[in-house]
Amino acid sequence: MKKRVLIIEDNPGVRENTAEILELAGYEAVLAEDGKQGVDLAVKENPDLILCDIMMPGLDGYGVLHILSQRVETAGIPFIFLTAKTEKNDVRYGMSLGADDYITKPFEETDLLRTIENRLRKAEALRQTTQRNAQSQSAQVTMQSHVRHYSRKDSIYHEGDPSMYVYKVLKGTVRLYCYNSDGKEYTSDLIGAEGYFGYVSSMQSKPREENAEALQDCELELYPADEFIRYITSDSQMMVSFVKMLSNNIAEKEKDLLKLAYDTVRKRVAEALVKLFETVTETDNRFGIAVSRELLASMAGTSTESAIRVLSGFKSDGLIEINGSHIKIVQVDKLRSLRW
Distance from C-alpha of 265 to C-alpha of 137, rounded to nearest angstrom: 53
pLDDT at 336: 80
Over residues 50-71, the pLDDT tens digits come to 999 998 988 899 899 988 987 8
pLDDT at 200 over 90: no
Res. 137 pLDDT band, cuts 50 70 90 = very low
Is-contact 194 168, C-beta < 8 A?
Answer: yes
Q: Structure pTM? A: 0.51
Indicate if 154 and 214 belong to the same structural domain. Answer: yes
pLDDT at 23 over 80: yes
**Directed axis angle between helix 265-279 and helix 293-300, to 10°?**
110
Indicate if 116 and 179 belong to the same structural domain. Answer: no
Over residues 150-185, the pLDDT tens digits come to 998 999 999 999 999 999 999 999 999 998 777 788
**The CA-based dihedral angle spanning residues 179, 180, 181, 184, taken in that order and rounded to the nearest 10 degrees:** -70
Indicate if 18 and 115 belong to the same structural domain. Answer: yes
Answer whether residue 127 is part of any domain: yes
Determine the structural domain holding residue 228 and report its residue range.
146-233
Over residues 224-281, the pLDDT tens digits come to 988 888 877 776 666 666 766 666 666 666 666 555 555 688 888 898 888 888 887 6
Residue from 45, 43, 67, 53 nearest 7 by CA: 53
Domain total in the chain: 3
The enclosing domain of 287 has a CATH number of 1.10.10.10
Res. 125 pLDDT band, cuts 50 70 90 = confident
Answer whether residue 250 is part of any domain: no
Indicate if 36 and 81 belong to the same structural domain. Answer: yes
Strand 326-329's sheet: what is its strand order? 289-290, 326-329, 320-323
Residue from 300, 281, 301 nearest 290 by CA: 281
Indicate if 20 and 73 belong to the same structural domain. Answer: yes
pLDDT at 25: 95
pLDDT at 231: 77
